[in-house]
């Protein structure tokens, strides 16, 4: 049943899921920040014609002598369908087509022009200099971009130079966030005794936005079994990933796990040997992924960063979805008694990680200034200052 598993086991189970990302065709300028979902091949030669890499004079190397008669001027954008007459040179500008028969361009600083003739020192030159040959960047049919490559502004420039108007990329998954807990009210309402403000919803929405996921539906559900079951059913019908907060433990009003079972969600794991965030559930239904996170905000964010975020990055086509943590020395000693993996809010200072105060699962003060999470393994009860620890940056 994979219950109360180690952190490494939970991650291996998630890595082993065979859920496939979806893709979509987007206009070039809307694809920045996404990942190519298929390889891209050059539809044309680039450059598509021989052109000059300098302002200067184009001539045929095989003609004899150190002077040529000036024939005409060739600007960028001119048609390149004319041939160079023997013994002549043309005034040419950067990017202009090199006439047929010409194979070398001498920059203007290296010539003397007297009347209608141009003079140069042949020993300074090399055949073919300053000519950008057709297909020298890439040739028609050549692979120019592998799948899972990030689309950057530089990528856009490359694709645009090839005349490519649309690119196939991995599409962002649709997300449903279901908030449980009758005590939760929205920001802006008057806080009554026994109530708390909704922190999980805004935190998750903004984290999703940072990942490029904006198609998000949020629903607040009453702590009633029938309502929880109904809302989960509706979310599974419209979303690729369903995130729940709260109601996943074993209290009298924790209906999430039973409601997921009633909706045919198959358990991947339930509960992890970690602190905070032990009561976390992961499941699948067909191609849908479900994560039921604890209710405490610090636990929600810890579990999201460690388990949900990598799965979402995988759906977005990111080949580094399951990142290897960075390792830094810890600034001071740390002791723990529980035989659990600890994830501690920390800040990177002077190339060391500083464990922050306010580590309780209900406490968000440290999240306000943290740079990431430090992982203290389950079997380690003491870490001495200066020891290397795994650090997961935001």
Give the pLDDT confidence of 197-247 residue by residue, as tens digits. Answer: 999 999 999 999 999 999 999 999 999 999 999 999 999 999 999 999 999
CB-CB neighbours of 102 under 10 Å: 24
Residue 295: CB partners within 8 Å, gap ≥ 6? 180, 181, 200, 245, 246, 247, 248
CB-CB neighbours of 245 under 10 Å: 29
pLDDT at residue 65, rounded to an integer: 87
Paired tokens of 347: 């800040």
Paired tokens of 83: 């041939």
Is 184's pLDDT higher than 80?
yes
Mean pLDDT of the chain: 94
Which CATH architecture is the domain 24-44+143-170 placed in?
A: Alpha-Beta Complex (3.90)
What residue ranges do the domains of the chain occupy?
3-22+172-315, 24-44+143-170, 51-132, 326-393
pLDDT at residue 70, rounded to an integer: 95
pLDDT at residue 25, rounded to an integer: 97
Question: pLDDT tens digits, residue range 109-141?
Answer: 999 999 999 999 888 999 999 999 999 999 999
Q: Do the beta carbons of residue 162 and residue 48 sit within 8 Å?
A: no
The pTM of the full predicted model, rounded to 2 decimals, is 0.88
Is 332's pLDDT higher than 90?
yes
pLDDT at residue 64, rounded to an integer: 82
Q: Do the beta carbons of residue 182 and residue 255 sit within 8 Å?
A: no
pLDDT at residue 81, rounded to an integer: 77
Provide the pLDDT confidence category of residue 334 given band limits of 50, 70 and 90: very high
Which of 54-58, 154-158, 357-361 is predicted with the least confidence, judged by mean pLDDT? Answer: 357-361
Residue 163: CB partners within 8 Å, gap ≥ 6? 43, 44
pLDDT at residue 19, rounded to an integer: 87
CATH fold for the domain made of 326-393: Beta-clip (2.40.340)
pLDDT at residue 118, rounded to an integer: 96
pLDDT at residue 250, rounded to an integer: 78
Please compute the mean of the pLDDT values over residues 320-338 and round it to a whole number.
93
The fraction of the chain above a pLDDT of 70, given in percent, is: 100
DSSP class of residue 364 equals -
Is 15's pLDDT higher than 90?
yes
pLDDT at residue 79, rounded to an integer: 83
Residue with tokens 């203290």: 376
Provide the pLDDT confidence category of residue 62 given band limits of 50, 70 and 90: very high
Is 46's pLDDT higher than 90?
yes
pLDDT at residue 249, rounded to an integer: 86
pLDDT at residue 362, rounded to an integer: 82
Question: pLDDT tens digits, residue range 230-243?
Answer: 999 999 999 999 99
CB-CB neighbours of 61 under 10 Å: 13
- What is the CATH number that goes with domain 51-132? 2.170.190.11
CATH fold for the domain made of 3-22+172-315: Molybdenum Cofactor Biosythetic Enzyme; Chain A (3.40.980)
């Amino acid at each position: 049943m994979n219950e109360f598993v180690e952190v490494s086991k939970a991650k291996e189970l998630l890595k082993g899921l065979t859920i496939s990302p979806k893709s979509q065709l987007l206009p070039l300028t809307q694809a920045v920040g996404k990942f190519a979902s298929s390889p891209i091949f050059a539809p044309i030669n680039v450059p598509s014609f021989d052109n000059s890499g300098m302002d200067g004079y184009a001539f045929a190397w095989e003609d004899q002598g150190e002077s040529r008669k000036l024939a005409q001027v060739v600007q960028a954008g001119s048609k390149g369908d004319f041939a160079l007459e023997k013994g002549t040179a043309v005034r040419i500008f950067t990017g202009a087509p090199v006439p047929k028969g010409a194979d070398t361009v001498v920059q203007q600083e290296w010539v003397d022009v007297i009347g209608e003739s141009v003079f140069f020192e042949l020993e300074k030159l090399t055949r073919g200099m300053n000519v950008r040959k057709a297909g020298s960047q890439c040739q028609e049919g050549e692979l120019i971009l592998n799948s899972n490559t990030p689309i950057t502004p530089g990528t856009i420039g490359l694709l645009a130079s090839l005349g490519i108007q649309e690119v196939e990329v991995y599409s962002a998954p649709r997300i449903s966030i279901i908030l449980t807990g009758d005590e939760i009210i929205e920001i802006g309402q008057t806080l009554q005794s026994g109530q708390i403000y909704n922190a999980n919803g805004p935190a998750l929405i903004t984290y999703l936005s940072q990942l490029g996921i904006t198609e998000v539906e949020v629903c607040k559900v009453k702590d009633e079994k029938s309502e929880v079951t109904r809302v989960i059913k509706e979310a599974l019908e419209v979303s690729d990933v369903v995130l729940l907060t709260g109601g996943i433990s074993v209290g009298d009003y924790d209906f999430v796990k039973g409601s997921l079972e009633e909706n045919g969600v198959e358990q991947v794991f339930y509960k992890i040997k970690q602190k905070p965030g032990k009561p976390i559930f992961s499941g699948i239904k067909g191609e849908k992924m479900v994560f039921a996170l604890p209710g405490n905000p610090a636990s929600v964010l810890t579990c999201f960063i460690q388990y949900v975020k990598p799965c979402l990055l995988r759906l977005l086509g990111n080949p580094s979805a399951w990142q290897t943590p960075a390792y830094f020395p810890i600034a001071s000693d740390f002791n723990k008694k529980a035989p659990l993996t600890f994830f501690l809010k920390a800040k990177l200072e002077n190339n060391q990680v500083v464990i922050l105060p306010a580590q309780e699962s209900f406490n968000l003060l440290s999240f306000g200034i943290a740079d990431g999470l430090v992982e203290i393994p389950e079997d380690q009860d003491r870490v001495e200052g200066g020891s290397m620890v795994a650090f997961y940056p935001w």
